Structure 1
Amino acid sequence: MSNSVEISWDAARLARDPAEWSLRLPVDDQHTLAATDDDAGKVRATVHAFVDAAIERVGFAHIADFVDPAAPEDDIVRTLLFVLDGIGVVVPQNGAGDLRQVLRDRDGDGATALGFHCDTCDLLVLVCLQPATAGQGFTRLAGARRVNDLLESEDRETLLLLRGDWTYDRTGRAGPQVVVSPILFTQPDGTIGCYYQTRTVRASLNPDDPADAPRLAALDVLDEVLHRPGVGFDLMMAAGDLLIIRNSRALHGRSPYIDQPGPKARRILRLWVDKETR
């Protein structure tokens, strides 16, 4: 049974209807939320309701002006953890067991794009502390439903392969060391799910083995679909913005950018969250 709420979106759909996935927090609510008191609980409930609805529709939720980016980092983290209470539990995101990381360009050479992928947690949580100096570094998003629908109409043989089991050797990383999962699949609620890490899954295949040739070709088709103009959506996060991505519903990546190393470098606070039952 399909979920009627889920949208098979593309970039044009998201640009046309930003209220489906983005909410701007009023300044008064931002200040109330930062206080993490009884009144803040009401704002948190509003944020929870929006996040739930947006993730049901498109697989991610964006909150503009979530925090004051000039606030101390510890205060921003306290506000974030307050909001995440009731949504999920923060889990380690690397082999070192870090519960939070600040992603930054230390060398001013962020020219390397990150391809579309899924992290190994339920929810990827990002807060932009400072965007890149030159205004680049878009967060790229692509919906599993849209990718599935395109392949369903264009290349069902490839879709069938992608719906089979694939092996990801994640030895030394946080979470399960070996993951066996389809790349595209139908979830119990009828939504289309995804799990994809192109380098990791390709490492399990032998390019010289004829038996692996169809699977490698299927990955090439998937990458081509993901990178078609208009399939993915480029989101420019401003300082203070929050983005929550459901890894089983939306793939993410990042465009290249030019930055200024040092204190003005692009900084993104990242947490991994596994969902609680609410």
Structure 2
Amino acid sequence: MADPIAIPANTTTTAAGERIPTVIVDAAHLIYRVYGAGSGAASSPAAALKRIVTRQPQRPTLRKVHAVKGISFTAYRGEAIGLIGSNGSGKSTLLRAIAGLMPTSQGAIYTQGQPSLLGVNAALMPDLSGERNVTLGCLAMGMSPKQVKTVTPEILEFSGINERDDFATLPMRTYSSGMQARLRFSISAAKKHDVLLIDEALATGDTRFRRRSEQRIRQLRADAGTVFLVSHSLGSIRDTCERTIWLESGELRMDGPTPEVTKAYQDYMASR
């Protein structure tokens, strides 16, 4: 038997010129359960008043939401893939499943390496300063203390936190939601990832930060990573991703070159 051929970590193809898969989604169904207090007549004000008078507790109801319905696709090393679709189409649920945070109900999802969902690996603690959160986030991603010391100034500068009265020394609870999102992205993007999953991170911040973020995504791709980007900004998708997947009502509507898919999506939304 011939010896296996070693594939360097920063390559996007094998010695035979074949692309290297990083994520395989095989007929995946994702169903989650939502507990509620009922609907319709059972949740009306009159029904609520009757329960109070008679002291009868309201029985919670269980609802199953079929968020993703049997979709299949393969992502390859070096790709940046946009995920678009209407609200509730299953985009964020799919990212959570790829990250390993949600099991498939049917089908399977296979990944090479450890996918990183933006905001999970770089969890922020509200009572700690931005600078301290950078340290903890980088350590959580496996960096050494020496590496953390080197990248911390770069992360703070990239996020723009220090541009506002040295906010890096203030507790995270004093930050706006946009500042927190920028810092999460900056921490996560400081490391090379096998698969990086980004959910609406580029929707916050000014034009300058979005340009820096898009450039950083291109750098991650050049380092042979795979990037998934969920965004309602088709401009960000076009500027960052050469391939786009369109989900609608949990189904894969289209998968192909970004200009073609975004054009079809725009036409669909305009006709609704």
Q: TM-score, normalised by structure 2?
A: 0.25
Rg larger for: 2
Q: Which has the higher helix share?
A: 2
With CA pairs under 8 Å and 6+ residues apart, which has the higher RCO, 1 or 2? Answer: 1
